[in-house]
Structure 1
């Protein structure tokens, strides 16, 4: 429980999720899939309040989606969307009264921000705004809130990506202080998101 309340999509602990996502990103870029899975289990469990077993299943789907997305430039976006569609369908079965979404549309928006981040990361798109907008489109759809309410959360998450991208270019050293900056931006992002969607 978090603050005596059931975990869920609107009652998550932002610091737990932000910390877990920071570890997941570091593991992703180092292609360390077991630590990635452990962090993903924590993110799914805290973010959606599912049982440990269902959280493991959901985290496995997220892992497989990321593995399909990871190769550059020859990744498999369609397979990544298919795994994320299954993930959102699993979430919806637990939270059909809390979330009203179509798993296909949610997965499309999820992988779209991955695509825009990759363009940004490799210099194929200028400026942060398209990436911020794609996160706003995902958050506002999944949580059914106005885009302006989640724009700061999106902006902070993009800032975290900038720190992450710099860390990757510097060699993915776990002792690099860029990781701490990435984590702080993720914490700020999830705190803002929790304030925007909280019930």
Structure 2
């Protein structure tokens, strides 16, 4: 892997970490899973870096968190986060970024905004929610329907994050098309 790719991966891992500095909102009925801005970073990682590098950026962040760095919203970090009700969402970030990048690549003939919006919704919402639901069922001991209902509270905010990711991608694509890999 070339140096430029490693720098971009590290940069997006840092971006996701910085988004964790924004205040999180805890939802008691969702097993205490917080609403954070970090999924915006996951969406952007997939859109901008592509499937493989986007997933690697998220994986890098998760590994640093596992080592104890308090980089998740609310200053959370360490191995304890892997036993919390939000573990499914956290682990889902990796395939979420991968699928976001894959969908973005497959939709390369579309204009940037609709391609990025659809990619962010499929990878950054659907894939992450599927993993999050499984985590809620396993850790919070919610029934499948309860877990599904609990995650519906996240939909409005995540749709806004998907729109923001698409707008940012469109702006980046307009000013520097190579940023999205479309100039190749």
Calculate the TM-score normalised by the size of structure 2.
0.42
Calculate the TM-score normalised by the size of structure 1.
0.40
